[in-house]
Structure 1
Amino acid sequence: MHSTADYLTFGQWRYLRSIGQLQSLSASADPEVLTLEPRLHKLLNFFLDHKDLVLSREDLLTAVWGEDSGSDESLTRAIAGLRRALQDSRVEPVYIATLSKKGYCWLAAVAPVALPPESDTEDAPAEPLDLIGTQQAIDKWHDKKLTKLKRIRYIWFSTLVLILFSFAFALLLSKMNEKATLPRYLQLTPVSALDGKEQTPLLSADQSLMVFQHQPADSTHWHWVVQQLASMQIRRDQQKFQQLSQPHWLDSEQIVFRAQQQQECAFWRKTVKNQFEAAIPLFSCHQFIAAGQAMTPEGLYWLDLDPATGQSQLWLWQQDTSQRLLMTFPAHWRAVSHLIVKNKKAYAIAQSGYSYSALLELDLSGSDWSTITEFDFSANQLAWWGENELLVNKSARQLQVLSLRTGTSRVFGEMTFNLADSSVWQHSLLAAYPAQAVTDLRQLEWQEQNNQIVTLPFADSNRSEYLLLAHQDQYFFVSERSGLPQLWRSQGQVTEQISQFETQHAIGQLLWFEGQLLLLIDRQLYHFSAGQLAPFMQKKLNSEGFVVCADTLYWVSRNQQSWALQQLQQGKISEVLKDVVNVQCGPENSLVLQLQNSAHVKQWRQGQISTLPIQINWRTTESRAWVSTTTGLYWLSGYGTELNYYDWQDQQQQQWPLAEPAQALMSDNGTVFVQQFRAQDTDIVWLHPEPAE
């Protein structure tokens, strides 16, 4: 059979170049075939072999007639004859153009026509076909191919329908499973009942004992406790630590954990099964992270901070080797925590800032990560619920189950409010309760006679009070004394509730701006007046840390790669400065800033930035753990047990211990207030599902 390049089309013509036959593409059912005489046949083939090139008269004479055989007149007659055969025009050429004093050029696009393979033609002749026979062979081959394709398409279509039906059925089952009603938990059953705080419960593989950490009511340190579940007998370890992380089984008798001791962070292993043995240090770490490690057969995966940049990192420790760095996370994330691992895939929570977070999937084999979903809250729990579902929670709210397949979530009932360190054991929940203690607002006062800082009651009740805003002689704060979080006002001897919210609102900040009381609720600023809420401005995604300084509203916002300081002044929003992650008002109309990549506090005045001799690390300090006043800057350290002060005028620093750990600081420019957790026991509890009917 002919090669594919034998049969060509150009313009309105089919052409079989091996025997020089032309047929019009617009021919009737009885097509007329023109066979070129040998010289024109050879001339046309030469043009087709050199299309888009300028061919001189000498090139054509040599190629078609041979050396010293042709003449200009014979070439001119041949060109004219070929044009007549192709029905071409010298004035408006479609195929052959005359270029003055240069020669000729072929213009039309040329396309090969696929010929049927010999194996597909039953009666293939030994000699080449003419153009009509070739076209008939092609048509016959295409007819057979079309019939065959129809059969193949029918088979593929039937198979595809079956596959799609099976997939849809499987997806329906999966959806039904994911939308299935979650277990109802109706009763809390205490597992332990020690005085003080208990947290991070861990069951043994045979579920015969439980390991957890305990802080006695009269102590600021933690130690390990083992409880036999059958007899309920407990054993207390005498070794104490400032902070203890979640434990993990290293083997059937030993646990591995991270601890803070004498301001040093390290990983330890400890025998706990039959008796306590002294903990053995394994290796040091840079930052204590309570839920930042996971034990697997490959080794211990753990999260840490780079001491140079502050960026979160993922490491692997194996017992027969040293630590190995696997990946470093973006600098614009505040932290990465809550690491869990299964089947070469790890999941963790990235804290984008103070108020936003994201679920990450980490590819441990490829040392790469991706974002599964983003939360408009700060998630603080992560555990496995099923093969493709996770338990996720935000502070003091209901647990929810997140599907890794669809990204949708389902919420448990109210009995899962205020749980911490939750894990699943045969559909029962093991957790610490309550996760968050009652908070009080108290006023800080310096006692000269005792040379110490004391706290005085501000607004006492049996429920939580938090956030405080002073305006003239009024104090606004949030209290849960009437059930749901409500806005209260204190003026002189009168304290009254001024809101009547009927649903749970996550009130994040109170501000006074342009003569209005503003509330930050679920990331949206609202104007509050006469008991009613009205949006103050369009919701700003990934924005937080609002503050009013010199009649200007400032806040920080995050895009995909970095942070920036924004301002609202005279109704216009503009960007002030990049890389700012937190802001406070400073003296003399200045701003006090925390930057993304610096632990030192900065002061910004009239476009100039200076560095203050103060270190408040954005990545390890809570947003409301520092406050600026007209006289100086206050901040908390030592896990809320130390109050620090920097005086604007004499530029000196002081530090005082606090009798009770503090969570947040607030100020009315003359007085500093502190938000503290009330002393309260926490217990390890079981939540068993309601029996099926």
Structure 2
Amino acid sequence: MHYAEPLICFANWRFERATGRLLRADEPAPVCKLEPRLHQLLNYFLLHPQQVISKDQLMDDVWPEGEGTDGAVMRAVASLRKTLQPGMAGQDCIETLSKRGYRWKAELQLETLSVGNFVAESVAASETANPCWPEAKMGGAGSVSSAQHPNNPEPLTVTMHLDQGRPDQMRPGLWYWLLSAILVVLVLLVFAVTLINLGKHTRQPVYSQMLTVSAMAGDEVAPLLHPEQQSLFYHYLAPQQRQWRWLKHDLSNHRKTLSNTGFDAMSQAVWLDHQHFLFQGSRQGQCHFYRQSTALATSEPEALFSCQRIFMQSLARDAQHLYWLEQDIASGNSQLWQRPLAGLAVNQSGARLLFQFSNNFRRPANLVVQQQKLYLVLEKDFHSSSLFEFDLQSEQMERLKDFSFVIHSIAPWPGQNLLISSAESLLVYPLASGRVIQLNTAHGYFRLATRLGEDIVAVNSFGHGKDVYPLTLQGSTSQSAFVSDLSFASNKDDYAMAINSRQIAFVSERSGAAQIWLQHADTVAQLTHFEGKRQISQLLWFGDNLFALIDLQLYQVDLFNGQLTLQPIERPARVTVCQQQLFWTQWSEQGWSLLSFDQQQQPTQLKQQVTDVRCGPEGFLVLQLSQQPELQLWSLADGSSKPLPAAVDWRVGFAERWVTNHLGLYWLSGDDKSRQLMFLPWHHKQPQQLALSADTLPDGLYADFLQDQLYYVQEKSGTADVVWLKQAATAAQGKP
């Protein structure tokens, strides 16, 4: 027997995905045919049940490019709710999650019908319809009735009552073939629309070829192509060296010239003219703008004026002005500055502050100029970014989009678009619609990507990764044999640990994409099986229950099957469990907050301007504040606080750079080249430095509050190379 596409059943509705028809299962009610937009919207919800779907996702995937708005999404969801309400039997099918989006809640089932029954029900439903979308009735003013049971596969018998003067009754067999033909046409239309939508993505160029510019040992970053395209300049860090230098790579003969002056850190550069470029550099703790001649071997960089902090992609220019991103060290405010290019050579003044952001943002990150507008990225917190547009004529700032990941770089892309480098892939962001499109590229981890002609020049990092190791500390009173012998070293990333007395959960990429793993005694098991990349930023235990912060949403993780259960917390930044109570920090337009659940299990704000939280001694929490680097010991009983002699700047370091256990507070100080592990015992006034071995350079710390043992995560040494990404049709032409 041949079967039609299954019906999707929920509550008292039976839904035909191909046609958009809704049939009532609880009564012989008329069919409701959804209008096209609601048809697409319901299909999208049914393809993503029990998942949080943001408004941005709906605008990207349901609305045509340039048509999706917040208002349109809200109206469509409200209209769909109203349409479905009569058949929901008191259930709520679509849940609204404040500031996060929507979630389909109703349970779904499939019902398969034979073609004969499918056509019979379609005929009966359409002829008695009072549709919610105008639909022509095939039988004119007549009515159709059928006594056929839905599950009876016998041929359909239809009786038609026609008005006087109408032609003779149409034969049932003709109805059968006519409806079958309509069904085939509808299926073909759905298939055609799917191909068209896929074509929107495949029209983007495919960069399947990757050519390495240089095979030198060491790291190469921040490529800068000469305006005449005959040479490429980039930062170079030689093996076993700590200072970066400029390197000129002649593309015609691959001759390389290294500058004489080294820097602790440098920014990307912009061209001043064909013989000079401008960059920011840091030497001996001092930050300056430097003008560098292209004759690297015979010239020294010229210091022009000072800066406060260096950010890799913080400079841009147009015909008259230089623009840069800055962060005021005292206040933490991210700033946008402007200076005339004409006065740079003689170091004339004229710098002007164009815009200052609130200090709720973590730090500035990226800047690019395109057609009288500046596009800039600020990191909101540890794992998300915001994109802004600044109009140079009106000097107005507008927020374009929030991203649930950290943006590494942005660059102009043809056709009023931006090229975005993220940890997952290269993305094209159309400024008109805001729909993010993923580029198809060769496999790699690309940063600082720029479109040059038909190609992309970028930095490809490989061999980098993270491993977790136990940290042996002097003076430990006890040590668990279970944890002290445990090592997670592998050839893939391992990070984000959560430890309790019997088992350890951690994140690893050893099976491909980042997944949650569980270590229990001598057994290691993979809990989750995500398809595609997910941002797993934190793991924590609440008793014997495991929780994970994934894509800025908190889930409970089932320890047997890895199933995720969403928790009722809006977009937490950091989460911890202390004294059998859940605490979390949260970013908003009004600032940072520390929250927990009250006695009615409702979220309540405990304190403002808190970016991170850890457990302290009984009755206390340790807080990291957005306005000052010193950590605070805060009383849960009366809300009083006192500063601790421990400075951890949340705008510079990683979230995992400090941790607590029952012995005291541990934190990492120093820069990327050297680390010091500091320890402050509870109720002591002075910290002490703990000795680290020469080859130990921790990037993060993990601990269980009740145990002595600490763990540290350390980056593996890898390589960063400048590469060309080419389309298959142009790859044979080689490098420009």
The TM-score, its normalising length taken from structure 2, stands at: 0.66
- CA distance 1:457–1:383, change in 2 (3 Å): farther
- After TM superposition, give the deviation of residue 347 of structure 1 in Å: 0.5
Matched, 1:184 2:206: yes
Q: Superposition pairs for residues 66-465 of structure 1, below 5 Å?
A: 181-273=203-295, 275-318=297-340, 319-320=342-343, 321-322=348-349, 323-395=351-423, 397-413=424-440, 415=442, 417-434=444-461, 437-446=464-473, 458-465=487-494
Q: Superposition pairs for residues 680-691 of structure 1, below 5 Å?
A: 680-691=718-729
Q: Name the CA distance, whole Å, in 2 between partners of 1:217 and 1:692.
A: 34
Aligned partner of 1:616 in structure 2 is: 648
- After TM superposition, give the deviation of residue 536 of structure 1 in Å: 4.0
Tell whether the 8 Å contact from 2:594 to 2:606 is kept in structure 1 after alignment: yes
Aligned partner of 1:664 in structure 2 is: 700
Choose from 643, 647, 654 the match for 2:676.
Answer: 643
Matched, 1:574 2:604: yes
- After TM superposition, give the deviation of residue 365 of structure 1 in Å: 3.6
- After TM superposition, give the deviation of residue 471 of structure 1 in Å: 1.0
Gaps of at least 5 residues in structure 1 are 1-174, 449-454
Gaps of at least 5 residues in structure 2 are 1-196, 476-483, 732-736
Give the letter aligned to residue 604 of structure 2. Answer: S
- After TM superposition, give the deviation of residue 591 of structure 1 in Å: 1.1
Tell whether the 8 Å contact from 1:430 to 1:684 is kept in structure 2 after alignment: yes
Aligned partner of 2:28 in structure 1 is: none
Tell whether the 8 Å contact from 1:199 to 1:213 is kept in structure 2 after alignment: yes
Counterpart secondary structure, 1:624? helix
Tell whether the 8 Å contact from 2:311 to 2:364 is kept in structure 1 after alignment: no
- After TM superposition, give the deviation of residue 588 of structure 1 in Å: 2.4
Aligned partner of 1:96 in structure 2 is: none
Aligned partner of 2:528 in structure 1 is: 499
Counterpart secondary structure, 2:229? coil
Give the letter aligned to residue 347 of structure 1. Answer: Y
Tell whether the 8 Å contact from 2:245 to 2:262 is kept in structure 1 after alignment: yes
Q: Name the CA distance, whole Å, in 1 between partners of 2:235 and 2:675.
A: 24
Q: Name the CA distance, whole Å, in 2 between partners of 1:420 and 1:456.
A: 37
Q: Name the CA distance, whole Å, in 1 between partners of 2:355 and 2:529.
A: 49
Aligned partner of 1:126 in structure 2 is: none
Counterpart secondary structure, 2:305? strand
- After TM superposition, give the deviation of residue 668 of structure 1 in Å: 2.5
Tell whether the 8 Å contact from 1:317 to 1:324 is kept in structure 2 after alignment: yes
CA RMSD in angstroms comes to 2.5
Q: Name the CA distance, whole Å, in 2 between partners of 1:436 and 1:405.
A: 38
Matched, 1:633 2:683: no
The TM-score, its normalising length taken from structure 1, stands at: 0.70
Matched, 1:558 2:592: no
- After TM superposition, give the deviation of residue 340 of structure 1 in Å: 0.6
Counterpart secondary structure, 2:656? coil
Structure 1 stretch 386-395 or stretch 646-655: which is displaced more?
646-655
Structure 1 stretch 409-418 or stretch 492-501: which is displaced more?
492-501
Q: Name the CA distance, whole Å, in 1 between partners of 2:631 and 2:496.
A: 24
Aligned partner of 1:75 in structure 2 is: none
Tell whether the 8 Å contact from 1:644 to 1:653 is kept in structure 2 after alignment: no
Aligned partner of 2:518 in structure 1 is: 489
Q: Structure 1 vs Structure 2: percent identity of aligned residues? A: 28
Give the letter aligned to residue 401 of structure 2. Answer: T
Q: Name the CA distance, whole Å, in 2 between partners of 1:690 and 1:475.
A: 46
Q: Name the CA distance, whole Å, in 2 between partners of 1:344 and 1:229.
A: 32
Give the letter aligned to residue 267 of structure 1. Answer: F
- CA distance 1:468–1:201, change in 2 (3 Å): same
- After TM superposition, give the deviation of residue 299 of structure 1 in Å: 2.8
Counterpart secondary structure, 1:583? strand
- CA distance 1:443–1:532, change in 2 (3 Å): closer
Tell whether the 8 Å contact from 2:463 to 2:719 is kept in structure 1 after alignment: no
Count how many residue pairs are aligned between Structure 1 and Structure 2: 511
What are the superposed Cα offsets for residues 460-509 of structure 1, whole Å, 9 maximum, x if unpaired? 11111111111113121111112222222223443333434444332221
Q: Which has the larger radius of gyration?
A: 1
Tell whether the 8 Å contact from 2:386 to 2:401 is kept in structure 1 after alignment: yes
- CA distance 1:187–1:179, change in 2 (3 Å): closer
- CA distance 1:465–1:364, change in 2 (3 Å): same
Q: Name the CA distance, whole Å, in 1 between partners of 2:202 and 2:510.
A: 36
Give the letter aligned to residue 432 of structure 1. Answer: V
- CA distance 1:654–1:258, change in 2 (3 Å): farther
Give the letter aligned to residue 652 of structure 1. Answer: Q
Q: Name the CA distance, whole Å, in 1 between partners of 2:271 and 2:388.
A: 24
What are the superposed Cα offsets for residues 94-143 of structure 1, whole Å, 9 maximum, x if unpaired? xxxxxxxxxxxxxxxxxxxxxxxxxxxxxxxxxxxxxxxxxxxxxxxxxx
Matched, 1:548 2:577: yes
Tell whether the 8 Å contact from 2:334 to 2:357 is kept in structure 1 after alignment: yes
Q: Name the CA distance, whole Å, in 2 between partners of 1:592 and 1:424.
A: 46
Q: Name the CA distance, whole Å, in 2 between partners of 1:463 and 1:653.
A: 35
- CA distance 1:499–1:308, change in 2 (3 Å): closer
Give the letter aligned to residue 239 of structure 1. Answer: T
Q: Name the CA distance, whole Å, in 2 between partners of 1:274 and 1:177.
A: 47
- CA distance 1:339–1:178, change in 2 (3 Å): farther
- After TM superposition, give the deviation of residue 217 of structure 1 in Å: 1.8
Aligned partner of 1:57 in structure 2 is: none
Aligned partner of 2:713 in structure 1 is: 675
- After TM superposition, give the deviation of residue 595 of structure 1 in Å: 1.7
Tell whether the 8 Å contact from 1:300 to 1:317 is kept in structure 2 after alignment: yes
